């Protein structure tokens, strides 16, 4: 069970609006090309387990770096007066430099060689913070970047799915449940922008480096989580479960309370 890959992440890039049903449920326009945003590494948390106990933090702190083994075990912190939504996603972990490649140069068959493996991630969103920023034309980094807003699983090396190395697009399924209620359950085959197009498109603006993490978008079924909730996710390779993860939710410590900007 390795989390060392998280120590190597130079940046975390997240694709937005990549499933049609999710776009519809949020009443968003469909983008004409892939778009993305960034999450800070300080938003990373990993599951608490028998092997990885809850991290002890300085008083009133919500992040104090990753452990030597890459873990940051702890709960999801819900900032006061925010409406936080879950978004379950397949995460790609890059293994090569990819820069300025064209659509003719980077195909579905190139994805396997470009990555070291995958993980399961939750892109948490403070929806009311994001909505206000979008309405006023302000950046919405805060709504995506709070501490603990990137719960993520252990690393799954690509050798596990070598039989699909020519095209990984239809190989995975992600699920998300809150308090035992299944909310999200869909295949990566439903992505509007496939994995190879995501990598190629990002590379034309921001060069990808070994260790970078790409979140590939969330299917429909997003919904709120609140303090005292328990949220879980699962990643399947065809019908085989690769990994699962579980987190509890608590009120964020510290002085922050959402107020209109």
Non-local (6+) Cβ contacts of 205 within 8 A are none
Question: Does the domain spanning 4-251 belong to CATH 3.90.850.10?
Answer: yes
In Å, how far from its chain's centre is CA 106?
23
Point out which residues pair with 142 in neighbouring strands: none
User: In this structure, what token pair is assigned to residue 50?
Assistant: 């028998």
Q: From the first residue on, what is the mean pLDDT of each consecutive set of 10 residues in the chain (261 residues)?
A: 94 89 76 89 96 93 97 98 98 98 97 98 97 94 97 98 96 98 95 94 98 95 97 97 98 96 89
| 73 Cβ contact partners less than 8 Å away, ≥ 6 residues apart | 45, 46, 47, 48, 49, 52, 53, 54, 55
Q: What is the pLDDT of residue 26?
A: 73
d(CA 132, CA 200): 31
> With a threshold of 0.85, does the pTM exceed it?
yes
């Amino acid at each position: 069970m390795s989390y060392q890959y998280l120590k190597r992440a130079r940046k975390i890039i997240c694709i937005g609006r990549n499933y049609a049903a999710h776009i519809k449920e949020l009443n968003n326009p469909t983008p004409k090309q892939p778009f993305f945003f960034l999450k800070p590494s300080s938003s990373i948390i990993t599951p608490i387990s028998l092997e990885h106990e809850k991290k002890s933090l300085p008083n009133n702190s919500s992040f104090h770096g990753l452990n030597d083994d890459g873990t940051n075990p702890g709960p999801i912190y819900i900032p006061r007066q925010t409406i936080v939504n879950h978004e379950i996603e397949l995460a790609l972990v890059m293994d090569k430099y990819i820069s300025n490649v064209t659509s003719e140069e980077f195909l579905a068959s190139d994805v396997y060689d470009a990555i070291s493996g995958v993980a399961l991630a939750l892109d948490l969103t403070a929806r009311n913070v994001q909505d206000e920023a979008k309405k006023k034309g302000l950046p919405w980094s805060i709504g995506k970047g709070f501490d603990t807003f990137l719960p993520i699983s252990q690393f799954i090396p690509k050798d596990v799915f070598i039989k699909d190395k020519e095209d990984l697009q239809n190989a995975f399924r992600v699920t998300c449940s809150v308090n035992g209620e299944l909310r999200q359950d869909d295949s990566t085959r439903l992505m509007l922008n496939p994995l190879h197009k995501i990598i190629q498109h990002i590379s034309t603006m921001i060069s990808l480096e070994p260790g970078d993490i790409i979140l590939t978008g969330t299917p429909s079924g997003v919904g709120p989580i609140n303090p005292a909730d328990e949220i879980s996710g699962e990643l399947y390779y065809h019908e085989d479960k690769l990994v699962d993860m579980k987190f509890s939710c608590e009120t964020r410590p510290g002085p922050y309370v959402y107020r209109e900007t």
